[in-house]
A and B are shown apart, each in its own frame.
Chain A
Amino acid sequence: MPITDIPRPLGKKLQDGRSFFPSGVADGGAGRVRLVPGIEPPILADVRLRINGTEHQLTIDTRTSLLDLLREHLDLTGAKKGCDHGQCGACTILIDGRRANACLALAVAHNGAEIVSVEGLADGDILHPLQRAFIEHDAFQCGYCTPGQLCSAVGMLDEVRDGWPSAVTPLLAAEGEIELTAAEIRERMNGNLCRCGAYANIVPAIGDAAA
């Protein structure tokens, strides 16, 4: 969108998006400052992450989720915050190749991980087959759940390739190829809510992309 004249911000300009805290407030160690009960300053930690192929080293509040790290610290706002409690799936990303809720994943607990968010799915200008299929099938309306749906679908199809069963897989005990029926796609995509109600388009979109 051509929003060229975004207003100039006021207030003191910080050096970069990461140095949010006055220096010397927290040392992350045992000598923690405790002013009044409950009045505890943030504790910082260093994390190193490979995100969509790029190395990032950041000093962050230990409380920072991977979701907030992406969105607030790296301006990677593709992963969405819909509930912040693992109940909607809009934040779904791939952590070391597996789909996961970025809102419940503390960044410090995933130090060293390889992260792929929706921004990392396309190969340059060439869209991922799932991205193309979502456009073709109109598998979204408002688009807010879409990045999570896409990352979830990428991870889900890998799980199917690896032979992981779902709650609707017949003959659970039998190893072998999973037949990717509509029922399988639906059940495996259960963690990605879409309030616009695009499920009836999401399922064929995924089916087409997987074929």
Chain B
Amino acid sequence: MRPFRFERATDAQQAVALLGDAPDARYLGGGTNLVDLMRLGVETPGTLIDVTRLVGYDRIDEGDDGGLRIGAAVRNSDLAADPRVRERYPVLAEAVLHGASGQLRNLATVGGNLLQRTRCAYFTDVTKPCNKRALGTGCPAREGRHHNHAIFGHSEHCVATHPSDMAVALAALGATVHALGPAGARTIPIPGFYRLPEDAPHRDTLLEPGELITAVELGPPPGRQTRQRYRKVRERRSFAFALASVAAVLDLESSGTVSDVRIALGGVAHMPWRATRAEVALRGAPVTPERATEAAQAELEYAQPLRDNSYKVELAHNLIAATLMELAA
């Protein structure tokens, strides 16, 4: 690990200013991914700016409309345990609880969770090429071991997936990221916050250099008829990244007709993947086994599996259909 200076910021403006003074600096949240990557040599910051103690950023505040503003320094475990989150946005609590371990969630922050990097084994090994880590060196996963890689939106430059569970739920909930940078504050809706790899896989998000995530905002809670669910499939029962996951938010009228539905997939793309084609196919009629299957099909027919991961097409299809049926039951 490269030696680094350590600075602790007490407010967001100060953090942004500190980073402006040291271009090779990085913001430090819980460190569960950044310290891991520094030890691997993937990240080599000369300065760490600790943003876990920014005053007021470790709170979850309630808006007049019942929405929540989640400070970026809120720990993952506090987010999942918050009664308002559990009651109004259970899909978010479920997603967070399906990620990592109890002790990692105690360290990890909301901002850091959004910015965690892919667990592609080529990315984390600095002795190998990887466009995401070192642009222009190539993507060995494309022809190499990729059974756990993307089936949507990948490019010849990168086939990695985004590892966050929380972000998948936030994508289904239509959350908004608040950021502060040298040019001021702005808001970016998820999933637009994330990007596909295209020819610049070294960039995971649309954040500009020096921008700091300050909060995540959730709009007014869905109505009482709304049903939410996060389901994740892993290679072992727990404490593993997703082969595929689904976050679904389903609004039903009393007749059973789907008034609104939002579905996001994890483990299948460089970003949380909103299954908008499936959503369109579902609106305006009740959920039946046939319609659930058709909706899943509508999305998955656009999948582009790699040589060794076509099982994910079936897996994601079944996850969507089964989760819809479960929610509609």
Contacts and interface: CB of A to CB of B under 8 A. Distances in A.
Contact present between A and B (CB < 8 A) = yes
Interface of A: 26, 28, 32, 38, 40-43, 45, 61-63, 65, 84-86, 89, 92, 95, 98-101, 104-106, 108-109, 152, 155-156, 159, 162-167, 172-173, 175, 186-192
Given A100-B107, A188-B102, A164 B81 contact: yes
A104 B94 contact: no
A40 B24 CA distance: 14
Given A162-B81, A173-B87, A63 B103 contact: no
Contacts of A86: 32, 36, 101, 104
Contacts of B238: 167, 186-187, 190
A99 B5 contact: no
Interface in B1-54: 1-6, 8, 28, 30-32, 35-36, 39-40, 48, 50, 52
B35 A104 contact: yes
11 contacts: A41-B3, A85-B40, A89-B103, A92-B103, A99-B103, A100-B107, A104-B35, A104-B36, A109-B31, A109-B48, A109-B52
B101 A191 contact: yes
A172 B4 CA distance: 42
Interface of A is mostly: loop
Contact of B80 (A43, A62, A164, A189): A164
B220 to A, nearest CB: 17
Interface string B278-302: 0000000000000000000000000
A164 B3 contact: no
> Which 5 residue pairs across A and B have the least CB separation, nearest first?
A191-B101, A190-B238, A190-B239, A167-B97, A164-B81
A190 B102 contact: yes
Interface residues of B, number: 39
B3 A61 contact: yes
A62 B4 contact: yes
B162 to A, nearest CB: 18
Nearest to B81: A164
B274 interface: no
Contacts of A95: 106
Contact of B3 (A40, A85, A159): A40
B214 interface: no
Given A100-B106, A162-B81, 6 more contacts: A41-B3, A61-B3, A104-B31, A106-B48, A173-B87, A190-B101
A188 to B, nearest CB: 6
Given A105-B31, A187-B238, A42 B6 contact: no
B3 A99 contact: no
Nearest to A188: B102
B93 interface: yes
A164 B77 contact: yes
Nearest to A156: B102
B107 A105 contact: yes
A99 B106 contact: yes
A163 B30 CA distance: 23
B86 interface: yes
Contacts of A40: 2-3
Nearest to B230: A167
B31 A43 contact: no
A45 B8 CA distance: 12
A174 B80 CA distance: 13
Contacts of B87: 173
A108 B103 contact: no
B98 interface: yes
B136 interface: no
Interface in B213-256: 237-239
Contacts of B106: 95, 98-100, 155
